[in-house]
Structure 1
Amino acid sequence: MTPAAALALLATVAAPATAQLAPAVAAPTAQVDPAAATFRMTGPVMQGGLIVVHAPRDAVSVTLDGKALPLAPDGLFVVGFDRDAGPQAMLAAVLADGRQVTRALAVAPRAWRIERLDTLPRFPAPDPVMAQLRPAELARIVAARALSTDAQGWRQPFVWPATGRISGLFGAQRIYRGEPGAYHSGTDIARPTGSPVVAPADGVVILAADHPFTLEGNLLMIDHGDGLNSAFLHLSRIDVKVGDHVRQGQTVGAVGATGRATGPHLHWSLRWRDARLDPMLLAGAMPAQ
């Protein structure tokens, strides 16, 4: 056999083996989006704060510390943290395929303004008129907060319902002879009587007092949806009625000094379910005057 023939024979024999050793092409794999299986949120996770949360993709239900929360079709919902909220909370979601996704939240504590009054008792002398009227007033407030509306204001960045000097801070508390009194449940804004009060976000009116309450005076409450509502106290007048849909920035009343007030101001309080929230965390810094 000639050298050329021998080389040709080797090439013929080796070709199949070479083909068998060729590396296999890997099958394409599905790309997994890590963000699809997590909670995404905006807002401060702290006492008195409110966060807007985007549930994991394909979530069919969500809970906070085991309690069910409403979930919008686009996967959004809100969570509020009470002034005295504990250091931890747990979000959980059940996905369409039955899997569960959880996220532990570390709730930041706040340093509240505490005033100690060692010479005054906690409770003043009993007021018989208030004792008679107060139960019915509280019942109206509780009934209003229990209403469910189609409001979507919870999705919006909040604005201040009035601008002016902040004269009372959310969470401030007095200690009377070592016994703590109730903390301040809202933010006070000092303004002259008659100054306009506007809706801080879209909402539905759930209470518009037809006469002054003993403590709150002329009281207006607006539901912003998803368990979030505002209350405006001491108004000199109310310009809307129960059931009205109001838009952010719409005038809804005027500053006054009705009820228990030492001077004209707006007391603005916010609640998410039973959690009392700090309005300054939602509305941000007070605009310059």
Structure 2
Amino acid sequence: MRRFLAIACLLLLSTVARAETTFNGSFTQGGVVFGKTDPGTKLVLDGIPVVVDRDGVFVFGFHRDAPVTSTLVITAPDGSAETRTLDVAPREFRIQRIDGLPDTMVTPPKEVLDRIQRDQAEVKAARAADRVESDFRSGFIWPVTGPISGVYGSQRILNGQPRQPHYGIDIAVPKGTPVVAPADGLVTLSATDHYYTGGTLILDHGHGLSSTFIHMDSVAVKVGEHIRQGTVIGTVGATGRATGPHLDWRMNWYDRRLDPAFVVPPMPGQ
């Protein structure tokens, strides 16, 4: 009888430990999910290790075209494991037509392809940071406020030609408007002349979560600087492939493109 009770207690403790993994976020395409689990727990989402802070805090996200289910493997400190199937809600995305772009910005000439590849390599390296610091705990605010002129996930047709979806939020404000850090983070890229994105800044919030700001007129911070939420990091511009001044704010969890709208309250006035 005592042995039976001991086994029952162990099973109960194991079940309680697994149940303590909790989530707060949006289980949808482009969604961002913050969570808490027991310290020492290991998480793997669709084969990708999820960084868990020393007190159990973590974050992950879903790409625009994520399938309707995702698999999370949770391994407790005692070695017991469970697999959870996470439902990911599909979304309908807009079609956005942009005309009047220079032809070289829609189909770049061969002589700039090497430059574009260098730009892409810099961005990829900056987004590959795997810092255990959880700067995202500061929460998020809008980097600028104003009319939203472009939304995440919209299929873009440039000068009549279908191109990649738009992976950010466009905020149409005048050139020179200050841009502030939406959350604490480490600067991992500070560039002024990328071919497509012009002034480009990447702020790493820890655990693979990062913000990218593009088309900036000026960038006021350097790689390696740790920035606090609300600090001015540059100004709005119309550099790179842009038809007018605006800030394009993007978010990633490693190489997964996320929707920044899920981490901030509604835009004031809209």
User: Is TM-score (shorter-chain normalized) higher than 0.5?
Assistant: yes
Shift of 1:30: 6.4
- Secondary structure of the structure 2 residue equivalent to 1:236: strand
- Secondary structure of the structure 2 residue equivalent to 1:212: strand
Question: Is the 1:151–1:202 Cα contact (8 Å) retained in structure 2?
Answer: no
> Which of 32, 43, 53 is the aligned partner of 1:50?
32
Q: How does 1:164-179 map to 2 (within 5 A)?
A: 164-174=146-156
Question: Is the 1:151–1:223 Cα contact (8 Å) retained in structure 2?
Answer: no
Look up the match of 2:175.
193
Give the structure with higher Rg (CA).
Answer: 1
Q: Structure 1 unaligned runs (5+)?
A: 1-26
Look up the match of 1:240.
221
Look up the match of 1:181.
163
CA distance in 1, matches of 2:131, 2:225: 11
Look up the match of 1:86.
67
Shift of 1:285: 0.7
Question: How many matched pairs?
Answer: 257
Q: How does 1:75-114 map to 2 (within 5 A)?
A: 75-114=56-95
Look up the match of 2:117.
135
**Which region of structure 1 is more displaced relative to structure 2, 72-81 or 162-171?**
72-81
> Which of 127, 143, 148 is the aligned partner of 1:161?
143
Q: How does 1:209-220 map to 2 (within 5 A)?
A: 209=191, 211-220=192-201
Alpha-carbon distance change, 112 to 35 in structure 1, aligned in 2, over 3 angstroms: farther
Shift of 1:43: 0.6
Question: Is the 1:151–1:204 Cα contact (8 Å) retained in structure 2?
Answer: no
1:187-230 deviation line (CA, Å, top 9, x unaligned): 00001011010001000000111x31111111111000000111
Question: 1:49 is aligned with what amino acid?
Answer: G
Question: 1:160 is aligned with what amino acid?
Answer: W
Question: Is the 2:143–2:181 Cα contact (8 Å) retained in structure 1?
Answer: yes
Shift of 1:155: 2.3
**Which region of structure 1 is more displaced relative to structure 2, 86-95 or 162-171?**
86-95
Shift of 1:65: 2.1
Look up the match of 1:69.
50
What is the RMSD computed on CA atoms of the aligned residues?
A: 2.7
CA distance in 2, matches of 1:137, 1:285: 32
Question: Is the 2:39–2:54 Cα contact (8 Å) retained in structure 1?
Answer: no
1:3-45 deviation line (CA, Å, top 9, x unaligned): xxxxxxxxxxxxxxxxxxxxxxxx9x96957653222100111
Alpha-carbon distance change, 125 to 153 in structure 1, aligned in 2, over 3 angstroms: closer
Question: Is the 2:127–2:252 Cα contact (8 Å) retained in structure 1?
Answer: no
CA distance in 1, matches of 2:46, 2:130: 22
Shift of 1:60: 3.3
> Which of 271, 279, 283 is the aligned partner of 2:260?
279
Alpha-carbon distance change, 141 to 214 in structure 1, aligned in 2, over 3 angstroms: same
CA distance in 1, matches of 2:117, 2:59: 31
CA distance in 2, matches of 1:134, 1:88: 34
Q: TM (normalized to structure 2)?
A: 0.86
Alpha-carbon distance change, 93 to 124 in structure 1, aligned in 2, over 3 angstroms: closer
1:33-85 deviation line (CA, Å, top 9, x unaligned): 76532221001111001111222x36532111233222211112111000000
Question: 2:24 is aligned with what amino acid?
Answer: T
CA distance in 2, matches of 1:132, 1:58: 45
Instruction: State percent identity of aligned pairs.
Output: 43
1:121-152 deviation line (CA, Å, top 9, x unaligned): 9x955424432421111111112122344542
Question: Is the 2:129–2:208 Cα contact (8 Å) retained in structure 1?
Answer: no
> Which of 161, 186, 190 is the aligned partner of 1:204?
186
